[in-house]
Structure 1
């Protein structure tokens, strides 16, 4: 056996990174605040922004995003938010080809 391999295997591997202390996560999160170097108008309007974002995030995030149009028809942002009876269960070969091509279309002659 080569001497370098013997010497390398004779010592235990010592990692180069050493973590100091035990991992400790803070018990509470910091209050939202603007960046210290943010423009003055953003710093002034930051409280209004956080109150608007908190009020818009208050409803359940998993709730369907639907809106009522003037005709009384309910529109869903994604098909899986709609009831399953409204889902289309069959996919044509043309649709499968379009999905597999990534949306690129090829001219057929």
Structure 2
């Protein structure tokens, strides 16, 4: 048997895109969602200031970021800076079984 050539029957997708994909050179300015409640739109600039001041890029070190947060709690850059109760630990067999059965196992 000879292989057949199907050059005349090339697949053309039904969807057509207009133009090339062009991504903006600069990100869009932050703004409230068009359907946000009026009070959210009024206080958006306050929210933006708080958000920018609490971003990780603005914090120079863990000590300075934890002193900024005050009573809200400390911010830890690495897990060993946190108290040991927050560290990762090895799971016990009964805990693994509990997760695998979706909580249906009895312990």
- The aligned length equals 87
Q: Please report the TM-score for the alignment, with normalisation by the length of structure 1.
A: 0.55
Q: Distance in 1 between matches of 2:89 and 2:35?
A: 53
What secondary structure is seen at the aligned counterpart in 1 of 2:13? coil
Q: Per chain length, whose mean CA-contact separation is higher, i.e. which structure has more relative contact order (CA < 8 Å, sep 6+)?
A: 1
Q: Distance in 2 between matches of 1:52 and 1:15?
A: 48
**Mapping for residues 1-109 of structure 1, pairs under 5 Å:** 11-59=9-57, 81-82=79-80, 90-102=90-102, 104-107=103-106
Report the alpha carbon displacement of residue 49 of structure 1 after superposing the two structures with TM: 0.5
Structure 2 unpaired stretches of 5+:
1-5, 67-73
> For the aligned residues, what is the CA RMSD?
3.8
Runs of 5+ in structure 1 lacking a partner? 1-7, 69-75
* The structure with more strand, counted as a fraction of residues: 1
Larger Rg, first or second structure (1 or 2):
1
